Structure 1
């Protein structure tokens, strides 16, 4: 783990660096700066996970650090170090994870670093989850998740011929000839695929992929024959509109 110490006093930087070396074995690299402006430059170049930040410094107070990151993400954890406890409330207003009074006690330094490490792990976990979420969102553009009895099957929507309602369940008929019984009702899939123009609901019990429509039959109540040989009825109130659409397009 990499940390940065920002303090205008050389002795204070040296003492803290020595304490870190003795007490915090997880910290492998320590860099230092004697003013806030130089410290911000080091933060942006070296990306430390923790910044030990003095508050009372010439030119810029440590509390002004947020002014240097307007519109930018502060992806590091701040531990304020100061000889005065009057700044504690202001420090925590800018989300400092701890506030150490000088001279810094060993146990308080260890506790502050442990707290920071815990938060860093949480941040890393959240970042990994976010990356995974993005990957799944990309996957969802082309695939659909089918909750089968022993897990989840990810199927390309282009491989689904049709859905058939079966009470509280749904049968899914696939291009490879397989059928899956899913523990979701038909409405779940019609909602999920409502923006996919290739899927059409000709009847309250069926939701079909028009890509697999082989024939439209206008006798015996009107029905559609799909590429797997199944016949799907067209509801009475949809027959005329469907027929006109077919004639208009084909």
Structure 2
């Protein structure tokens, strides 16, 4: 699981420090990227850093924590309310299925809460994949791929991919418009999931190229120049013949 990024918003410095310290001691991969003393500052930092989860004190000056919905058209991060409310008020959180922590925060309850966050974030990723699949089937559009990007999922048109380069356990996707995506999957993953009839070719142990974007093959230098002229791809000498055959076949289609 990727590192979960968090922001803590509480008007009490000691409360911010305690929660940040407790989160650092969990056995979960969670990082507090910043803390804020009021909701207005917190909103600015949320928009800047786009965290996975916000730990939000309920009672604060100027704005109560639950008023955060006033500042966002869409809440695309998890919210964990932190409260000193009595048990009767807490019932409102439970009835509305809202996650919360009670001050003073118990370590075991915090661990359980972070586990819930992990599950929810995984479900979001799965939902992205599932919705993309349903859309492809419905529209008979098999020209898109879900990229497991670092910390997120992104849907990319296959035609926008110039080449894919191995980066250890990761892969770098070079896209049209001089754009780059770092994917949390190795090159073998993409070789296996790319449609067999798509215009992709494994040119080298560290490269997959999109034949539709090939501009020039230099056999002597063992390089392929892609259509935007800035991307040069390695090709193994033993793959040159197969590459030329695939390129010719692709140009006839």
Give the alignment's TM-score, normalised by structure 1: 0.51
1:28-39 superposed matches below 5 A: 28-39=31-42
In 2, Cα distance between the equivalents of 1:14 and 1:107?
18
Runs of 4+ in 1 over 6 A off after TM superposition: none
Aligned-residue RMSD, C-alpha:
2.5
The aligned residue for residue 112 of structure 1 is 113
Residue 112 (structure 1) shift? 0.6
Matches within 5 A, 1:139-158: 139=140
Identify unmatched segments of 5+ residues in structure 2: 144-253
Aligned match of 1:88: 90
Q: Distance in 2 between matches of 1:93 and 1:53?
A: 19
Written as runs of structure 1 = structure 2, the 5 A alignment for 1:127-206 is 127-139=128-140
Identify the residue that residue 21 of structure 1 maps to in structure 2.
24
1:5 is displaced (CA, Å) by 0.5
Q: How many residues align?
A: 140
Gaps of 5+ in 1: 143-250
Structure 1 residue 65 corresponds to structure 2 residue 86? no
Structure 2 CA distance for partners of 1:65 and 1:115, relative to 1, 3 Å: same
**8 Å CA contact retained: 2:28, 2:114:** no
**Which entry has the higher C-alpha Rg, 1 or 2?**
1
Shift of 1:2: 0.1
In 2: Cα distance, 1:41 partner to 1:95 partner: 26
Deviations 1:126-157 (A, max 9, x none): 01212233333443599xxxxxxxxxxxxxxx
By how many angstroms is 1:92 displaced?
A: 5.1
What is the SS of the residue equivalent to 2:30? Answer: coil
1:60-116 CA-to-partner distances (Å, cap 9, x unmatched) read: 0011111222xx2211111111112354244457653x2111110000000011011
Alignment correspondent of 1:122: 123
